[in-house]
Amino acid sequence: MTNEMIAYCGLDCHSCPIYLATREHNKEKQKEKREEILQLINEHYGLEFKLEDITDCDGCMTETGRLFSTCKDCPIKKCARKKELESCAYCEDYVCKTLEEFFAKEPDAKTRLDTIRNSSD
């Protein structure tokens, strides 16, 4: 996982549409990406966002960067930071109920965290 930026929860920021839209320099393409994100969030997660709610994000591991609105209050991020963990994969409570619920929507995140966890044994 050399070129990946893996969030506490196992999401790969470098493939995250919000992260990619943040880095898009062409404003029209950026708007198109944000519209796609809006549809994905509303359909996949059942949230009711508006286009202006799709904010920039530099990834939840950043200390000073921009964060997507749902990442700011993410209970997974808050827990990992409180426990001073680099990743949930290193948590003694792995897999907790919060992660189980998250993995139901994001199974690839679990695969990434399992890989990290197994490589640290």
pLDDT in tens, 5-18: 899 999 999 998 99
pLDDT of residue 20: 93
Percent of the chain at pLDDT above 70? 97
Q: Write out pLDDT tens, residues 72-97.
A: 889 999 999 999 999 999 999 999 99
pTM attached to this predicted model: 0.82
pLDDT at position 70 over 90: no
3-state SS track over the chain: CCCCCECCCCCEHHHCHHHHHHHCCCHHHHHHHHHHHHHHHHHHCCCCCCHHHCCCCCCCCCCCCCCCHHHHCCHHHHHHHHCCCCCHHHCCCCCCHHHHHHHHHCHHHHHHHHHHHHHCC
Comparing 121 with 79, the larger pLDDT belongs to 79
Q: Give the domain ranges of the chain.
A: 13-119
